[in-house]
């Protein structure tokens, strides 16, 4: 029974933890402008994160070492340093966006400027990272994030013409007023949001934190192949709500309040309260995950003690990194930068950094010295290579599309 509970809890937290500020904003923006014509990108991204999360989880379960730790050892310090720079830069940018997202969620409740709230949010995030247990961070915030299921309820309550909404699933049904370059830009952004690098580093390091063994591979796979896709359904529901409420009116999404507006239209004040809770839980949980991922990456590359499973005094360097990263993130937000803009930039640069993140994972997952009989099979390698091709295309296209479309403005 305990094992089944672990599977259920893992799946539920994966669902609630899949959607972060990048998914919230990008899916709502895409839905408002393109309806469901970009849902195929969400599906592609969810399958991709499942492929590489399974690899990174299997690596942690069999070798008892986190992915970044093995990347440096297997590919050497230079390749490891390049990987560190690319992935940690994007993760830190995402960390800023997530803290800003929590501040925006609290602004919806208090009407106090997110700039003033940001430093208190950053302090709260650091205290949680310093004092809370890993399982508490993952499970409590992940379960609270399930409040975002309200988007699926709201979509049903809005009573859309399902045949018309389903017809938008074809890329050919892109609104005629939108150019293909802008369509491609949002496609790359959605793909980057679904496959954000920090997710696999956090997942792998979390496996080490929770002391996974080869006996836990089944539980890990259930979390990946059930939790992430169901979390992806929430992304589709967010896009669907925006498509029903905003697309016919030609309204674009520019604020977090607009992301939740369709829920308020469908379900009233109760729905609005639930969605704000979901915003808070999703962004606060992701802020903790990205903050930990910054510490994990730097500590694992440098070779010093890390993790929540050891006392802060024994992992002093790791906790110093968390503190410095949090202070820097708060400093950036105190300049008055728009967290939504930071989010938009982070998902594009996430796509840019994807090859540096996922190629090393594929290499390590095929190494018999680390994984033995649990190394990649043919299917895992076929999918891994396919996604590396897609990832490379998205990475090459990200910056040109961002420039050509002026960040999707047309």
User: Any idea what the CATH number is for the domain that residue 10 is in?
Assistant: 1.20.1740.10
Domain annotation covers residue 410? no
pLDDT at 393: 94
Q: Is residue 184 part of a domain?
A: yes
Q: Which structural domain range is residue 185 located in?
A: 2-404
Residue 118 lies in a domain: yes
Determine the Cα–Cα distance for residues 235 and 368; give it in Å rounded to an integer.
37
In angstroms, rounded to a whole number, what is the distance separating the alpha carbons of residues 3 and 237?
31
By residue count, the chain amounts to: 410
0.75 cut: is pTM over it?
yes
> Can you give the pLDDT of all 410 residues of the chain as single tens digits?
555 555 554 555 566 557 888 889 999 999 999 999 999 999 999 999 999 999 999 998 998 887 777 777 777 777 777 777 888 888 899 999 999 999 999 998 888 888 999 999 999 999 998 887 777 777 777 778 888 999 999 999 999 989 888 888 888 778 888 889 999 999 999 998 888 888 888 888 888 888 888 888 888 888 888 888 888 999 999 999 999 999 999 999 999 999 999 999 999 999 999 999 999 988 998 898 899 889 888 888 887 888 877 787 888 888 999 999 999 999 999 999 999 889 888 888 888 888 888 888 898 899 888 888 999 999 999 999 999 999 999 999 999 999 999 887 86
Please check whether residue 409 lies inside any domain of the structure. no
Cα separations (Å) of 249 from 10, 32, 168, 237, 324?
A: 40, 9, 16, 19, 44
Dihedral sign of CA atoms 399, 402, 403, 404 in order: positive
Q: Please tell me the predicted confidence (pLDDT) of residue 106.
A: 92
* Residue closest to 206 by CA, chosen among 57, 2, 16: 57
Domain count, the chain: 1
Return the sign of the alpha-carbon dihedral for residues 213, 217, 222, 225. positive
């Amino acid at each position: 029974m305990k094992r089944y509970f672990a599977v259920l809890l893992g799946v539920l937290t994966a669902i609630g933890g899949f959607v972060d500020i990048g998914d919230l904003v990008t899916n709502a923006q895409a839905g408002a402008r393109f309806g469901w014509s970009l849902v195929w990108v969400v599906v592609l991204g969810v399958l991709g994160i499942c492929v590489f999360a399974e690899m990174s989880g299997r690596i942690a379960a069999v070798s008892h070492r986190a992915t970044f730790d093995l990347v440096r050892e297997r590919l050497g310090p230079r390749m490891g340093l390049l990987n560190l720079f690319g992935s940690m830069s994007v993760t830190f940018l995402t960390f800023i966006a997530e803290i800003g997202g929590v501040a925006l969620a609290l602004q919806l409740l208090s009407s106090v400027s997110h700039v003033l709230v940001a430093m208190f949010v950053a302090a709260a995030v650091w205290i949680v990272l310093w004092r809370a247990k890993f399982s508490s961070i993952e499970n409590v915030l992940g379960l609270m994030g399930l409040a975002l299921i309200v988007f699926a309820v709201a979509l049903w309550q809005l009573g859309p013409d399902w045949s018309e909404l389903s017809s938008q699933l074809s890329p050919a049904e892109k609104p005629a007023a939108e150019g293909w370059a802008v369509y491609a830009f949002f496609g790359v952004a959605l793909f980057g949001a679904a496959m954000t690098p920090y997710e696999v580093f956090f997942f792998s390091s979390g496996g080490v934190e929770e002391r996974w063994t080869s006996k836990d591979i089944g539980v890990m796979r259930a979390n990946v192949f059930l939790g992430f896709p169901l979390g992806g359904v929430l992304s589709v529901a967010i896009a669907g709500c925006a498509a029903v409420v905003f697309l016919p009116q030609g309204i674009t999404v520019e604020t977090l309040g607009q992301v939740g507006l369709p829920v308020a239209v469908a379900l009233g004040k109760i729905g609005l309260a639930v969605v704000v809770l979901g915003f808070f839980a999703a962004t606060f949980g992701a802020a903790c995950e990205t903050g930990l991922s910054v510490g994990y990456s730097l500590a694992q590359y440098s070779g010093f003690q890390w993790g929540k499973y050891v006392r802060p005094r024994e992992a002093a360097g790791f906790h110093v990194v968390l503190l410095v990263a949090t202070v820097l993130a708060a400093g950036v937000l105190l300049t008055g930068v728009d967290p939504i803009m930071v989010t938009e930039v982070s998902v594009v640069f996430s796509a840019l950094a994807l090859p540096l993140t996922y190629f090393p994972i594929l290499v390590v997952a095929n190494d018999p010295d680390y994984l033995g009989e649990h190394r990649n099979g043919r299917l895992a390698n076929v999918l891994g290579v396919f996604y590396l091709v897609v990832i490379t295309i998205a990475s090459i296209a990200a910056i040109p599309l961002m420039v050509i479309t002026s960040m999707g403005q047309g």
